[in-house]
Amino acid sequence: MIEVVASMARGPVFLAGEVLECLITFTNPMSHLSTSASSEMLAWASAQIHCQFHASESRVALPSQGTKQDVQAESDTVLIPSRGERGQCMLDTPPKILFCDLRLDPGESKTYSYSELVPTDGPPSFRGQAVKYVYKLTIGCQRVNSPIKLLRVPFRVLVLHGMPEPPFPQDEEVAPSNPFLEEEEGGRRDTRTLERALDMLMITTSRRYPHLFNITNMRGKVAKFCIFKTVYRLGEDIIGTFTFSEGDIPCLQYSVSLQSEEEVHEQYQRRPGQAVSVTGHGRHLESCLHTASSHFSLPIPLNVTPGFSTDIVTLRWRLHFEFVTAREPVELPTVLQNQSEVTVWTGAEQVDSALSCLWSFICFYLL
């Protein structure tokens, strides 16, 4: 028996273009007091990154690819990282051999380092209602005269569109460096990728400009809505304000929902005119009768996927608004001057109201 442990020191989240580093340890768990006959012999081990794609049969109609069978026999020495997985492998990196002919005595262990550039031409990690894109690091090894065993380590990939290209190699040669500090080239490249991504995100998401919208229905103006920017990072709060004093129609209650839209492109839709899949990620509800102004704050979850588009599906983000308005004017409460007694305000017992729905779209960037 061989025990295989994979450890990612940086954690399970990577930006497309970063270097994934993983330490893989092979251990013979038998006690060192065992006889030498308990030694284990591994023929080979390799590692490979691949992206597995799965589509919902009820929502996506993919072109027929014929009957694909798993041609890898148990005694075959060819590594197929997606063997036994649902869906199809849409992206993979060349496999890297970790070792050949490794002998492990009882209690002995060997650790190997695996590093690979996360592909930049693939989609981000996403688990939606129509499609799923899942990235995995697959480690395959084979004992002598035994079938291949696979260890799959899932990780998350974020794609930042529009990131500037890295500097030319000659720029690195003239850059100032400290000769007394040892720094690996891979570490410097990885740091520069993160720095460029962070700089781009900070510049893009820090731009603030009030965007004003008049919210109306068939009977007139309800309120004025203001949002300060339309590009956000994961984990940020979406903040907006309502001004009801400028409205002609009394608003009793409003709600704001953070939603994502998953739209399958027309040529891949299972049914003509197929509806867009909508998923809610947060909601703010507030009563606002006789309120001059109000505001809301909706946090963007860290585990969601920023907007993206592939050949099959497009993911967009939006804010969905719902307003409960009164059909007739509602009389304002009166306060007498120099009134010494405490006055208790109570809401109207019966109000003829109507529900109005509006929505607007917001673009998201990741962090």
Q: How sure is the predictor about 12, in pLDDT bands with cuts at 50, 70 and 90?
A: very high
pLDDT digits (tens, 9 = 90+) for 99-119: 999 998 888 899 999 999 999
pLDDT digits (tens, 9 = 90+) for 331-359: 666 666 666 666 666 666 666 666 665 55
Q: What is the DSSP string of 199-236?
A: HHHHHHHT----EEEEEEETTEEEEEEEES-SEE-TT-
pLDDT value at 37 more than 50:
yes
Least confident window among 44-58, 133-147, 252-266, 329-343: 329-343
The mean per-residue pLDDT over the stretch 92-105 comes to 90
Residue matched to tokens 């409960």? 324
Q: How sure is the predictor about 254, in pLDDT bands with cuts at 50, 70 and 90?
A: very high
Is the CA virtual torsion 263, 264, 267, 273 positive or negative? negative
Question: What end-to-end distance do the CA atoms of the chain give, in Å?
Answer: 42
CA 89 from chain centre, in angstroms, equals 20
Alpha-carbon gap, residue 82 to 86, rounded angstroms: 8
Q: How many alpha carbons fall within 13 Å on the CB side of residue 44?
A: 12
pLDDT value at 56 more than 70:
yes
Decide which of 86 and 119 is more confident.
119
Decide which of 169 and 328 is more confident.
328
pLDDT digits (tens, 9 = 90+) for 164-218: 554 434 344 444 555 555 555 444 555 666 677 777 777 777 788 888 988 888 8
* C-alpha distances in Å from residue 146, one per residue of 40, 109, 153, 357: 12, 20, 22, 63
Question: How do strand 353-364 and strand 231-232 relate by DSSP bridges?
Answer: parallel
Alpha-carbon gap, residue 144 to 120, rounded angstroms: 37
Instruction: Say whether 327 sits in a helix, a strand or coil.
Output: coil
Residue 46 and residue 97 in contact, taking contact as beta carbons nearer than 8 Å = yes
Q: Which residue from 199, 204, 246, 201 is spatially nearest to 229, judged by alpha carbons?
A: 204
Residue 215 and residue 358 in contact, taking contact as beta carbons nearer than 8 Å = yes
Give the per-residue pLDDT at 30: 78
Alpha-carbon gap, residue 38 to 31, rounded angstroms: 9
CA 361 from chain centre, in angstroms, equals 18
Give the per-residue pLDDT at 186: 47
Average pLDDT, the chain: 80
The mean per-residue pLDDT over the stretch 48-74 comes to 73
pLDDT value at 315 more than 60:
yes
Decide which of 196 and 75 is more confident.
196
Secondary structure element (H or E) that encloses residue 196, with its range:
helix 185-205
CA 109 from chain centre, in angstroms, equals 36
pLDDT value at 360 more than 60:
no
| Tokens describing residue 259 | 């939603």
DSSP assignment letter at 187: H
Q: Which residue from 173, 127, 181, 130 is spatially nearest to 154, judged by alpha carbons?
A: 127
DSSP assignment letter at 266: G
Decide which of 356 and 329 is more confident.
329
State the pTM of this model: 0.79
Decide which of 69 and 59 is more confident.
59
Neighbour-count burial for 20-34, b at 16+ CB within 10 Å, e otherwise? bbbebebbbebeeee
Give the per-residue pLDDT at 188: 53
Give the per-residue pLDDT at 367: 40
Give the per-residue pLDDT at 98: 93
Least confident window among 37-41, 139-143, 266-270: 37-41
Decide which of 321 and 344 is more confident.
321
Give the per-residue pLDDT at 1: 78
Q: Which residue from 232, 163, 170 is spatially nearest to 195, judged by alpha carbons?
A: 163
Alpha-carbon gap, residue 269 to 306, rounded angstroms: 22
Give the per-residue pLDDT at 174: 41
Q: How sure is the predictor about 55, in pLDDT bands with cuts at 50, 70 and 90?
A: very high
